[in-house]
Amino acid sequence: MALPLTATINQRNPLAFILGQVLFIARVLLMTLSLVTGVILHNLWRLFRQPSPWPRLFLLSVSWTAGIATATTGTRIRKNVFYASNHHSWIDIPVMSGVTGCTFVANDGIEKWPLIGWLCTINNTIFVSRENRLSVGDQIDELRTAMTGDQPVTIFPEGTTHDGSGLLPFKPSLFAALVPPPTGMMVQPVFLTYGRHTPRISWVGEEGVGENFWRIMSYLKPITATLHFLDPFDPVHFPDRKAISAEVRHRISEAMQASDHYRRSI
Segment 44-82, tens digit of pLDDT: 999 998 888 988 899 889 999 999 999 999 999 999 999
- Residue 2 inside a domain? The answer is no
According to the per-residue pLDDT averaged within each range, which of 129-133, 165-169, 240-244 is highest? 240-244
Q: Model confidence over 81-108: pLDDT tens digits?
A: 999 999 999 999 999 999 999 999 887 7
Helix axes 92-100, 54-65, angle to 10 degrees: 130
- Residue 4 inside a domain? The answer is no
- Residue 74 inside a domain? The answer is yes
Top pLDDT among 191 and 115 is at: 191
Q: Model confidence over 201-220: pLDDT tens digits?
A: 999 888 888 899 999 999 99
How much is the pLDDT for 260? Answer: 61
- Residue 7 inside a domain? The answer is no
What is the domain range of residue 46? 14-263
**102-112 burial code (b ≥16 CB/10 A, e <16):** bbbbbebeeee
Q: What's the rounded mean pLDDT across residues 125-147?
A: 74
Give me the sign of the Cα torsion angle 72, 150, 92, 105.
Answer: negative
Check residue 148 and give left, alpha or beta (phi > 0: left; psi -120 to 50: alpha). Answer: alpha
Q: Model confidence over 19-44: pLDDT tens digits?
A: 999 999 999 999 999 999 999 999 99
Whether the per-residue pLDDT at 174 is higher than 90: the answer is no
68, with CB counted inside 10 A (0-12, 13-18, 19+), is buried
SS (H, E, C) 161-193: CCCCCCCCCCCHHHHHHHCCCCCCCEEEEEEEE
In the chain, the number of structural domains is 1
- Residue 38 inside a domain? The answer is yes
- pTM value is 0.87
- CA–centroid distance for 15 within its chain: 32
- Residue 238 inside a domain? The answer is yes
CATH number at residue 30: 3.40.1130
What number of other Cβ atoms are within 10 A of residue 260's Cβ?
10
Do 133 and 111 contact (CB within 8 A), yes or no? no
- Residue 76 inside a domain? The answer is yes
**Closest Cα to residue 84, out of 105, 63, 107?**
105
- Residue 192 inside a domain? The answer is yes
Do 76 and 154 contact (CB within 8 A), yes or no? no
**Closest Cα to residue 221, out of 62, 20, 7, 18?**
20
Residue 136: pLDDT band with limits 50, 70, 90: low
Give Cα separations from 264 to 6, 7, 162, 202, 212 (angstroms).
Answer: 11, 8, 15, 14, 20
Cis amide bond preceding 180, omega within 30: yes
